[in-house]
Structure 1
Amino acid sequence: MIRSLPSSAGIDSAIDYLQDRLGLLIPPDRRAEIEKRIQRTIAIRGMADPDWLLHALHTDEAMFEALVNEITVGETYFFRDPASFELIQKTILPDLDRGRPAGAPIHIWSAGCATGEEAYSLAILLEEEGWAERAHILATDISRDALHKARAAVYGPWALRGDGSGQLADRYFMKDAGRFRLADRFRSRVSFRYLNLASEFRPSPKDGLTRMDLILCRNVLIYLDAATTQAVARRLFDCLADGGWLLTGPSDPPLWPYAPYKTVITAAGVLYRRIDQADLQPMAETKILPKVLDHARPAAPPRAAFRPDAPQLADIPSPSGPTGRRKPGANNQNIDLALIRALADQGKISAAQQAAEEVIRRVPLSVEPRYLLATLALADGRTEEAITSLRQLLYINPSLAAAHMMLGMALLGKGDLMAARRAFENTFALSAERPEQEIVPLTDGETAGDLARAAKRQFDQLLSSLEEAI
């Protein structure tokens, strides 16, 4: 006999418990979606009373696992974000090979590995680079169901959608009844283990969580609340070897306020490095941002990217004085921004881009020139460049709702629906917490209420599309 479903209060208590145990950030606008997923999962089990669900989460591990699978995102595929793997291949592996004995082992951790595609992609890359016998790969996740699938290493064609040439399937998989089984040698090179990043894990030789040369924690931190993110940032740092690297996703929150990382912004995401020795310098070919930066800088004043009333070039003073140099100051930057807009309004996209890049070279943490640069790239059809500029901008200041919105639109145009959905979700969360009539920085007078509604429309449309695809 099917018993009554839990009350709304019972569902809310269950969601709060899951958030606390997993360290998850579930924005208010996602709670309705999560409630539907929970109801779907427990409908066949029935309920004894409104408090049954919360009791089951404490005592029934199978129920807990089922709900973990419902509320966490396991979207991944082989060689997702190729730029990240190119960064590992061309920058990180050569760096790790310097200053250590020939053939010395390296230790890699894929944190939040889902069904294993990232960890196995690493194993394939390492074999192609001649590192197969040197590398020890640990992969962890909070979903035991996902780990079971990862160990089986049998995938559908959708998991190989990043393999445009088809060579990956031909070289490293065996086809069986429309599915693809990874070659056994790669399965043997990855160790899978359950780990909740929100738990009090610590560096431990016994658990293998120590002296890691490379940690990949990509597209995981965006789902964690602020307190958990801060704790995880420090624990990941503690798990790195001296000189070890941490790679996060482009949309993940910054970690360097919480641990003494050396930081590198790249198109593939943010790289962090643990440097304990005073005489160990960062690589010459990478640009390391200063560790001491002002995260609490005020938001830029509201402006349009391109305004119909922008001044003509004749109205704008020359960017350099008689000596070809200028003194830094707010007035000079306003002149620069006006020049960039004027060039763009006249269709001189290349010149406007060069002017924006020059401002960024002089003032690396400036916000509006990066936003203008992204707008220029989008206007010129260079979507990838726009995405890179926006992600770098959001690393500097994650609170810019307009940048999240533009990033969502760029990702939508690229076809990356999951990432676009997260960007619209961030836009809504940031806009909804502001007074409705407050003007949003970096926009042409758009209010927080208008931006929140626009982001929610995009989010709802994407949610419907993704549910239909499932």
Structure 2
Amino acid sequence: MTLAAPHINTKNTLSLGYGDHLRFSRLIQKRYGLCFPEKRYPDLERGIRQAFAASTCTDLNEYFDLLQDPDHGAAHFERLINALTVGETHFFRDAGQFDALYSHALPQIIERRRALRTLRIWSAGCASGEEPYSIAISLRQLLPDVDEWSITILGTDINTEALDRARKATYGEWAFREERAKQWQPHYFHRRGKRYELVSEVRRMVTFAQLNLAEGVYPAYETNTTLMDLILCRNVMMYFPEPVTRQIVERFYQALTDGGWLIVGHAEHSLITYQRFQTHNYPNAILYRRADHSSFLPKDWHWLILPPPKEENPAAPTLATPLDTQPISQSPPGLPQNGQPNDSDPIEKACDLLNYGHSARARDLLLKAIEQNPRHAPTCALLGQAYANLGYWQEAEYWCRQATRMDKLALKAYYTLALVLQHQEQLDSAITAMKKVIYIDRHNVLGHFGLAHLYHNNNQLPQALKSLNNAYHLLNGRSEEKVIPDSGGITTASLRETIVRQQQLWSAEANNELKIERTGKGTDDGNSGLES
């Protein structure tokens, strides 16, 4: 038996017009400083579709109003920003830049700091942690006495979901596609099933924190962003308009010590933006360095912008010899020589694609997988999630129901199904599906929180308040910065704040309804309307 994909009904999908792109992009830039010009509208639409699918709104107008609501919108805006700022990265990304770092910048910094044995490094826009962990691994290779140094490696990002993955420090094979990553993987990772867990010695070297580069909260001791020897901010500036980019670069300059280094993405080089820095050219890499005296350009050079280097396929880089002279092993067994992920596990790859916001690619991969194993409930559940992220409600419902028919305890399928049915204005059926989430796992915070919204939308205030209260109590004892599982990056603190405000507003609604009811009864029977 083969489960064929249902015909896509475009009449029943989420549609964004030019006006939607414009109003959402303006709201996002006003609130977070992130810029989505017209050429990046496809990225904007992808993120909106994904975040909208996880909400309980029935249309884009309701969702837009929710984002602007000071009482209810914070957690939903956090989820939208996470969907919009998904950064797909991997270990030792960009061999040319890491060659320059390993052979030139890091040895120079180490020599300059050897007397004090202190290093301070900041990965700004660290995504899921591969970049700062790559720096930590490099330092362990370069420093035989690394544990005797005081080393600060700070990873910051606006995306709370990415930071949660960074703290967990477990990765799939696709994260090791660079040659250097494949060579050092056996030394610094333990295989855990189909994934790789970073050793604790490296994990302890890196700390993570949420930070929006568009905000003026750095450099500051409060954010641990002062006196940096090295700042990496690669492929992040594209999210900001030019004036904000210049402010960020100026703050980086102030955050660096004299002689400190700044590394940006290949497409982000500009003689104008980085004119206060000295430019250092290496094979396939340009690095910037703060000097004691600024290097200003002549006025008639202000038209000049450095083009990004041409894409090439250079041979594997020659690694600088580590100070401990420990030979580097060959590629670990089980990892293909070309660095591509292992196609024998399409489900694992599809999960990674969904995590990075590539729902269409995940859907295509899962459709091939379901042909090979048509009775695999997890594949059907993931297909439901992928179609929901793309705004195809009927197709999402179809695959979620397939998953629940095969597995009566398919919690994630029931949760996605509840949201999909709500988007189709089938509130009673959505409530039934969300109740099954709680039946399967009565400690599921998102299940209680989602059920509260469904009850509220269905004008069942007492039940909504009860579910909201259940969600609130389930948050007790959780770390404020801990991300709620499968929430799209919503933290405990953010969800708790949202719940408290909703409890206040919905309680006021319930009291008003009670007063109206009592007033009506008093008018009917001639009494004052007060309870006897």
TM-score range, shorter chain: 0.5 to 0.7
Instruction: Tell me the alpha carbon deviations over residues 376-425 of structure 1, each in whole angstroms, 9 at most, x when there is no partner.
Output: xx9xxx7559xxxxxxxxxxxxxxxxxxxxxxxxxxxx999xxxxxxxxx
Match of 2:84 among 62, 71, 92: 71
Is 1:269 aligned to 2:282, yes or no? no
Pairwise mapping of residues 21-420 of structure 1 onto structure 2 (< 5 A)? 21-47=31-57, 51-58=61-68, 59=70, 60-130=73-143, 132-133=146-147, 134=149, 135-163=151-179, 166-254=182-270, 256-257=272-273, 260-276=276-292, 291-292=297-298, 294-297=300-303, 384=314
Q: Tell whether the 8 Å contact from 2:25 to 2:35 is kept in structure 1 after alignment.
A: no
Give TM-score scaled by structure 1 length. 0.57
Mark the CA change 1:235 to 1:33 in structure 2 (over 3 Å): closer, same or farther.
Answer: closer
SS in 1 for 2:261: strand
Instruction: Tell me the alpha carbon deviations over residues 350-392 of structure 1, each in whole angstroms, 9 at most, x when there is no partner.
Output: xxxxxxxxxxxxxxx9x9xx99xx7xxx9xxx7559xxxxxxx
Distance in structure 2 (CA, Å) of the matches to 1:237 and 1:186: 28
Mark the CA change 1:65 to 1:269 in structure 2 (over 3 Å): closer, same or farther.
Answer: farther
Aligned-pair CA distance for 1:99? 4.5
Mark the CA change 1:271 to 1:293 in structure 2 (over 3 Å): closer, same or farther.
Answer: farther
Aligned-pair CA distance for 1:182? 0.4
- 1:398 corresponds to which residue? none
Residue segments in structure 2 that go unaligned for 5+ positions in a row: 1-11, 316-337, 341-357, 366-385, 387-532
Distance in structure 2 (CA, Å) of the matches to 1:124 and 1:226: 34
160-169 or 69-78, which moves further after superposition?
A: 160-169
Aligned-pair CA distance for 1:231? 0.8
Q: Tell whether the 8 Å contact from 2:160 to 2:210 is kept in structure 1 after alignment.
A: yes
Is 1:16 aligned to 2:26, yes or no? yes
Mark the CA change 1:16 to 1:240 in structure 2 (over 3 Å): closer, same or farther.
Answer: same
Distance in structure 2 (CA, Å) of the matches to 1:66 and 1:463: 16
128-137 or 173-182, which moves further after superposition?
A: 128-137
Mark the CA change 1:162 to 1:4 in structure 2 (over 3 Å): closer, same or farther.
Answer: closer
Aligned-pair CA distance for 1:193? 0.5
Mark the CA change 1:294 to 1:62 in structure 2 (over 3 Å): closer, same or farther.
Answer: same
Which AA in structure 1 matches 2:66? A
Aligned-pair CA distance for 1:34? 2.2
Mark the CA change 1:169 to 1:257 in structure 2 (over 3 Å): closer, same or farther.
Answer: closer
Aligned-residue sequence identity (percent) comes to 34
Which AA in structure 2 matches 1:138? L
Which AA in structure 2 matches 1:87? A
SS in 2 for 1:205: coil
Distance in structure 2 (CA, Å) of the matches to 1:195 and 1:158: 27
SS in 2 for 1:102: coil
Which AA in structure 2 matches 1:195? L
Distance in structure 1 (CA, Å) of the matches to 2:241 and 2:210: 20
Mark the CA change 1:54 to 1:200 in structure 2 (over 3 Å): closer, same or farther.
Answer: farther
- 1:400 corresponds to which residue? none
Q: Tell whether the 8 Å contact from 2:259 to 2:290 is kept in structure 1 after alignment.
A: yes
SS in 2 for 1:251: helix
Instruction: Tell me the alpha carbon deviations over residues 214-262 of structure 1, each in whole angstroms, 9 at most, x when there is no partner.
Output: 0011111123211111111111111001111101111114265465222
Q: Tell whether the 8 Å contact from 2:47 to 2:83 is kept in structure 1 after alignment.
A: yes
Which AA in structure 1 matches 2:222? K
Distance in structure 2 (CA, Å) of the matches to 1:22 and 1:270: 29
Mark the CA change 1:199 to 1:267 in structure 2 (over 3 Å): closer, same or farther.
Answer: farther
Distance in structure 2 (CA, Å) of the matches to 1:137 and 1:33: 30
Residue segments in structure 1 that go unaligned for 5+ positions in a row: 279-288, 300-364, 386-413, 417-461
Q: Tell whether the 8 Å contact from 2:156 to 2:208 is kept in structure 1 after alignment.
A: yes
Distance in structure 1 (CA, Å) of the matches to 2:121 and 2:181: 27
- Structure 1 vs Structure 2 CA RMSD: 3.7
- 1:441 corresponds to which residue? none
Distance in structure 2 (CA, Å) of the matches to 1:7 and 1:20: 20
Structure index of larger Rg:
2
SS in 1 for 2:40: helix
- 1:329 corresponds to which residue? none
172-181 or 17-26, which moves further after superposition?
A: 17-26
Which AA in structure 2 matches 1:75? E
Which AA in structure 2 matches 1:64? F
Mark the CA change 1:249 to 1:46 in structure 2 (over 3 Å): closer, same or farther.
Answer: same
Matched residue count? 309
